[in-house]
Amino acid sequence: MISTIGVVLLIVAALAMVVDLLVSRSRFELDGSASAVQLLPLGGARLPLTMAAWLAVLAITLLPLLALLSQALLPAPGGPLTWANLTIGNIVRATSAPAPRTGALSSVMLSVLAGVICAVLGLAIGTVVTRTTARSNTALKTVAMLPQAIPGLVIAVGWLIIAPRIGLFNTPWLIRCAYVMAFVAIVVQSVSGPLTATPMTAEEAPASPARAGCAPYSTSPGGWRCPPRWPAACSWCSPRCGS
């Protein structure tokens, strides 16, 4: 059943991405506007809207976390939530046992290496599909984005099926490959999005005066020391490495 659902989701995602790419072919690259951002005047509704936005964000993000915390502080699941029942014994036992510490260390190592691989691979794919005119760019981006349309459980099952045939079963590379497949699409989006919205002239302008004067790239105006696509890839990689 999981395999069937995954195949259906992949077909729907592929069709949606093909339609989106066909429609986006009519885009034209324009220079960014230099005008100031127009603020929306809210008047007396500013404070109520701000409070409503904060309440919505806190309800969506903090309530589930507080529910998890309340269950972690109880001595047994399902117990009454009272001050007398709250304890940190579960947390102390979970963090001091050898098995959880070994699992946490292995998870950090796997996620860090997977994050680096995703950053490098996503940076390369995002640069190719936005800065070249190859006919295969559409197919390349579609294939890279497909795993984002299916749940992580489906991806894990797929790798468990194929792992014994390629010699990755019961190895760390099985989890690492599943991580890369699941998250490389996010890196491609993080890189290709800014590059699509940034004209080539804006990306090449900081280095042009320095190169014309035979100055090193690090002394270019504005202090640009690397192309803008690199921070986009690194900004994705850093928070995921600790997840």
The answer to the question of residue 20 being in a domain is no
The answer to the question of residue 132 being in a domain is yes
Q: Are residues 187 and 240 in the same domain?
A: yes
Q: State pLDDT tens for residues 9-51.
A: 778 877 877 777 677 665 554 555 556 667 778 888 889 999 9
In whole angstroms, what is the distance from residue 224 CA to residue 212 CA?
16
In whole angstroms, what is the distance from residue 99 CA to residue 101 CA?
5
The answer to the question of residue 78 being in a domain is yes
The answer to the question of residue 192 being in a domain is yes
The answer to the question of residue 172 being in a domain is yes
Q: Are residues 191 and 117 in the same domain?
A: yes
The answer to the question of residue 91 being in a domain is yes
Bin 5: left if φ > 0, else alpha if -120 < ψ < 50, else beta. alpha
Whether 131 and 195 have beta carbons less than 8 Å apart is answered as: yes
In whole angstroms, what is the distance from residue 92 CA to residue 98 CA?
12
Q: Are residues 124 and 143 in the same domain?
A: yes
Q: Which of 51, 72, 96 is the last residue of a domain?
A: 96
The answer to the question of residue 173 being in a domain is yes
Neighbour count for residue 212 (Cβ, 10 Å):
8
Q: State pLDDT tens for residues 168-193.
A: 888 888 888 988 988 888 888 888 87
Residue 93 has pLDDT above 60, yes or no: yes
The answer to the question of residue 229 being in a domain is yes
The structural domain count of the chain equals 2
pLDDT of the residue at 220 = 46
Residue 77 has pLDDT above 80, yes or no: no
Q: Are residues 170 and 197 in the same domain?
A: yes
Q: Are residues 87 and 190 in the same domain?
A: no
What residues make up the domain containing 92?
A: 64-96
